Chain A
Amino acid sequence: MTSKGSVGIVKTEYFTFAEPPDELVLESERTLGPVTLAYETYGVLNRDRSNAILIAHALSGDAHAAGFHEGESTPGWWEAMIGPGKAFDTDRYFVICSNVIGGCKGSTGPSSPNPRTGKPYGLDFPVITIADMVEAQRHLVDHLGIEQLLCVAGGSMGGMQALQWVASHGARVRSAIPIATALKHSPQQIAFDEVVRQSIMADPAWRQGDYYGYGQPEKGLAVARMIGHITFMSDQSMEEKFSRRLRNGQYNFHFAPDFEVEGYLRNRGDNFVRRFDANSYLYITKAMDYFDLSRGRLIPDGRFPATRFLVISFKSDWLYPSYQSQDIVRELKTRQADATYCELPSTYGHDAFLLEVEEQTTLIRHFLDKTFNGYHVAHGDDLE
């Protein structure tokens, strides 16, 4: 295999569109504008613009998927998968990642200034859906001059966006890689999201969403994130990571964190408060709950869709269990889509899509290569 590297120093860029009166019309029939998308690109768009891959991020992700920002030591959230010689090989492909609308990492969201008032939207921000996120990305893809994407890929909510791209703009997507995701949120997933939202809204500091200038509802948001982290891991990965290990070697007989797992969750919660807007968490979880491409809506136009699929799930993922990926596969079979499905034997739970690099790399590299180049004579040898 070619040497794997990093895309190096990268910079987030911004694209603003939907200036009034040409505002973005949302699924709710409300409008939003102007809309700014924060995005990053890696690699080079080829001459016939056929090598563009859109990476869609999960709930708390952002446009910074790979490489390093100037002066920072933490790489992008999918650094292991995007870069020269990696699964999404930036020596071959032009990779785009944008922050979703409703987010808080440079794209327009509830913490952005409302042009009507000059103050942050708060709850005046319209409720958005996964289809709205994709529609905003479509504007960006148009802006970049790309008619057809080689691939749309992502895990979890990123996978929902990949599926939504197929549903909304199937002819513009040569392939889709939905990972650890679902055609629709189950009642259990909606329930977790509702508990997450309630923990934010129960914090008096939330102030009906109008907390800007007063400080975040830190306690509520931290608890929300703690709940999230439990669902991202598996019983086994928590056992391996923490077991019942104590932070000070003994019980303290009070409610400070005794166990390492408690310390870990508190730590994660506290960090999250510093980097994520509470209202964005409400809006984005709601968008995921509304998502539903079941009952034929994934591929509305009959048989033999133009898009190839690579569907990946993880055995220990109980938040987006394999049966949900198999539901996607069933839908693809009814449409006779060209598709591959693999359940990977990870113990990491839902987090596996960020952590299981080797197997995903093998699958994704070869799948993309076939999509881009067709069958090789000496199959795959150059990709080993």
Chain B
Amino acid sequence: MWRTAMIWNNAIRLDHRIICRIVEPGARVLDLGCGNGDLLYLLAREKKARVQGIEMNESAIYECVKKGLSVFHGDIEAGLAEYPDRSFDYVILNQSLQEVKKIDGLVKEALRIGGKIIVGFPNFAFLPARLMLFFRGKAPITSSLPYRWYDTPNLRFLSVTDFRGFCREKKLRVLEAHYLGKKKETPFWPNLLARNALFVVAK
């Protein structure tokens, strides 16, 4: 009931629905920058995943604990070293990679402790962003990049093509790629039309 009622309707974010399809039942999942825990809660309920989060924001920690989730209060970049290799089946970096200082090191650590990583990020080359920059000469503000230049938590501005290039350069295998439009996946010209991208990556 909860299954059919919730998972495929729009009450659940598109990126969460896609990640929920990707993750196998019973998988061990670590969500880096898990926010209020909506995704982990979905995975725990829907996929019986064994989930753990790491989150910097204190009030988000309360939201996670209220959902019954286990979460560590701390910096995702400093919180992985103690985990043994392959502690998780999936390490998720959904909408948090662009806020990270040392991308290379974090991705490497995530791939050490998890078999696969799921990376989700806003596509900086999304058409409206390009138009805003080109015609109005202003730093883009879109639904997936809603911040102004002076209050954005984002440190990185990358496109679908940029991330594919990164994977090539670091010799990472892209197992799956999903390109997200407003309400559903968008199959054509992802670097132009996707608001957000989701990649499943392995070594």
Chain A contacts to B: CB under 8 angstroms = 303, 308, 310, 326, 329-331, 333-334, 336, 338-345, 359, 362-363, 366-367, 369-370, 374-377, 379-380, 383
- Chain A residues closer than 8 Å to B74, beta-carbon distance: 326, 329, 341
* B residues 62-98 touching A (CB-CB < 8 Å): 62, 64-74, 79, 82-84, 87
Distance A366 CA – B67 CA, assembled complex (angstroms): 8
Evaluate contact between A340 and B65: CB separation under 8 angstroms: yes
Q: How far is the CB of A88 from chain B (nearest CB, A)?
A: 15
0/1 interface trace, chain B 82-120, chain A, CB 8 Å (1 if under): 111001000000000000000000000000000000000
B2 at the interface (CB under 8 A from A): yes
Distance A374 CA – B52 CA, assembled complex (angstroms): 15
State which of A333, A338, A366, A377 has its C-beta within 8 Å of the C-beta of B83. Answer: A333
Distance A310 CA – B65 CA, assembled complex (angstroms): 10
- Chain B residues closer than 8 Å to A366, beta-carbon distance: 65-68
State which of B58, B66, B87 has its C-beta within 8 Å of the C-beta of A336. Answer: B87
The 10 closest A-B pairs by CB, nearest first: A370-B68, A380-B66, A333-B82, A330-B82, A342-B73, A379-B67, A341-B72, A340-B70, A366-B65, A375-B68
Chain B contacts to A: CB under 8 angstroms = 2, 41, 44-45, 50, 52, 58, 61-62, 64-74, 79, 82-84, 87
**A339 closest partner in B (C-beta):** B70
- Chain B residues closer than 8 Å to A329, beta-carbon distance: 72, 74
- Chain A residues closer than 8 Å to B65, beta-carbon distance: 310, 340, 342, 362-363, 366-367
State which of A331, A338, A363 has its C-beta within 8 Å of the C-beta of B62. Answer: A363
Given the interface pairs A329-B72, A336-B87, the reply to whether A380 lies near B67 with Cβ below 8 Å is yes
**A343 closest partner in B (C-beta):** B73
Distance A343 CA – B55 CA, assembled complex (angstroms): 11
**A375 closest partner in B (C-beta):** B68
Q: How far is the CB of A373 from chain B (nearest CB, A)?
A: 8
Given the interface pairs A330-B82, A334-B82, A336-B83, the reply to whether A379 lies near B73 with Cβ below 8 Å is no
Evaluate contact between B66 and A342: CB separation under 8 angstroms: no
Distance A345 CA – B59 CA, assembled complex (angstroms): 11
State which of A342, A370, A375 has its C-beta within 8 Å of the C-beta of B58. Answer: A342
What are 30 A-B interface contacts by the 8 Å CB criterion? A329-B72, A331-B82, A333-B83, A334-B82, A338-B50, A338-B52, A338-B70, A339-B72, A340-B65, A340-B72, A341-B72, A341-B73, A342-B58, A342-B73, A343-B58, A345-B58, A359-B62, A362-B65, A363-B65, A366-B66, A366-B67, A367-B65, A369-B68, A375-B45, A375-B67, A375-B68, A379-B41, A379-B66, A379-B67, A380-B68
Distance A370 CA – B73 CA, assembled complex (angstroms): 18
Distance A278 CA – B73 CA, assembled complex (angstroms): 39
**B28 closest partner in A (C-beta):** A336
- Chain B residues closer than 8 Å to A380, beta-carbon distance: 66-68
Evaluate contact between B68 and A376: CB separation under 8 angstroms: yes
A-B contacts besides A338-B52, A341-B72, 9 pairs, CB < 8 Å = A334-B82, A339-B52, A340-B64, A340-B72, A341-B73, A341-B74, A362-B62, A363-B65, A367-B65
**B68 closest partner in A (C-beta):** A370
Given the interface pairs A334-B83, A336-B87, A363-B62, the reply to whether A374 lies near B2 with Cβ below 8 Å is no
Distance A363 CA – B87 CA, assembled complex (angstroms): 26
- Chain B residues closer than 8 Å to A383, beta-carbon distance: 66
Q: How far is the CB of A246 from chain B (nearest CB, A)?
A: 38
- Chain A residues closer than 8 Å to B50, beta-carbon distance: 338
**B2 closest partner in A (C-beta):** A377
Evaluate contact between A362 and B66: CB separation under 8 angstroms: yes
Q: How far is the CB of A335 from chain B (nearest CB, A)?
A: 9
Given the interface pairs A326-B74, A341-B73, A375-B45, the reply to whether A336 lies near B68 with Cβ below 8 Å is no
- Chain B residues closer than 8 Å to A303, beta-carbon distance: 84
